[in-house]
Amino acid sequence: MSGPLKGLRVVEMEGLGPAPLAGQFLADLGAEVILITRTSRPADPTDINTRGKRSAALNLKTPEGIEAALALIARADVLIEGFRPGVMERMGLGPEVCQSRNPGLVFARMTGWGQDGPMAQMAGHDINYLGLTGFLNATGRADDVPTPPLNIGADYAGGTMFLLFGIMAALFERQSSGKGQVVDAAMVDGASALMALIHSWIARGHWSETREANLLDGGAPFYRAYACADGKFLSVGPLEPQFFAELVRLAGLPEDHRATQMDARTWPDRRDAYAEVFAQKSRDDWMAIFDGSDACVAPILSWSEAPEHPHLAARGTFFTRGGVTQAAPAPRFDRTPAPPPGLPPAPGAETEALLTEAGCDAETLARLRAAGALT
């Protein structure tokens, strides 16, 4: 193992969405991530979230399976779980039990609604969490229903990244206290926190609750996507006056638009006018015009086009392993670079090896096997 997180040991309870991605990011940067999975199964090269992880297949419906899980947790710095509130407690793996075995454990909990509150026990998904926070109401066209921004806003930005932020903060605090703690990472909290700038603008009267009427929601003609002659698209976003001046010059827009760039009264008509201009050339023709400029124009690429773009290719942003194209570890470090990710291993392949490292002898392993605790 190498990378800036070398020496960090994490146990991840198998789940879906933001928690597995958090475990992947930690493994990408060199942490030893042990996945507790429900059953052994063949390796799957498309299961990117399991890359770099070791795993143990345990039957947590048996006392012996819980015993084995606790043996792994007792040696960990961090435990990640993404179940509904109370599930870990009912299994016998709640924070009190785990931290009695391991007082320094950071017990990181990932949910949509949070560990408490009237909706805590309800099912939900990214679109619901964004809906509750006001985020979703701001996305999409003014004359249509709100458009979900994939599952990035709550699952991954408000979920995964805040879970990781909480873990790192708790590990930092542990250096002085010597104690672990519970991290309650809720997607509704994280997605809301991401909108600090928008809430500032609302307080100043600079943001309307009408979709497609604001600076960053497609309302401004200079911060918007446009269709080109070939049916492909451009992203246009020169917010600053000096960058907007570049757009005006290179796209052949009226020079007097520079003086009234921020006059929102002009925006509806200019959106239509700019759309006509950009529809006159193909996407590649426009990119040849804007190449090397500060006009803040970039092509809108498909999933298959993105890895082939010269900039992303030069940086090695994507790589292919086992026939699967995926993103490389991020961010990057100069002294302790992340290890190149390998193929995702077979879940459960290291069950007995991991338990042996955790202190289980041959007799204990035989007892666990006999009890059906190892799957």
Q: Known catalytic residues?
A: 125, 155
**Residue 57: strand, helix, or coil:** strand
Tokens of 70: 């606790």
Residue 105, CA distances (Å) to 30, 64, 233, 282 in order: 19, 21, 48, 56
The C-alpha atoms of residue 259 and residue 277 are separated, in whole angstroms, by 20
| Residue bearing tokens 């969405």 | 17
Residue 49, CA distances (Å) to 9, 100, 158, 162, 342 in order: 17, 30, 18, 17, 12
- Cβ neighbours of residue 349 under 8 Å, at least 6 residues apart? 40, 43, 55
- Candidates 91, 128, 94, 134; CA nearest to 113 is 128
Positive or negative: CA dihedral 19, 25, 29, 33: positive
- Cβ neighbours of residue 190 under 8 Å, at least 6 residues apart? 154, 157, 158, 159, 161, 162
The C-alpha atoms of residue 198 and residue 192 are separated, in whole angstroms, by 10
- Candidates 298, 140, 312, 305; CA nearest to 226 is 298
The C-alpha atoms of residue 11 and residue 107 are separated, in whole angstroms, by 10
The C-alpha atoms of residue 233 and residue 283 are separated, in whole angstroms, by 6
Tokens of 115: 């560990």
| Residue bearing tokens 């096997």 | 369
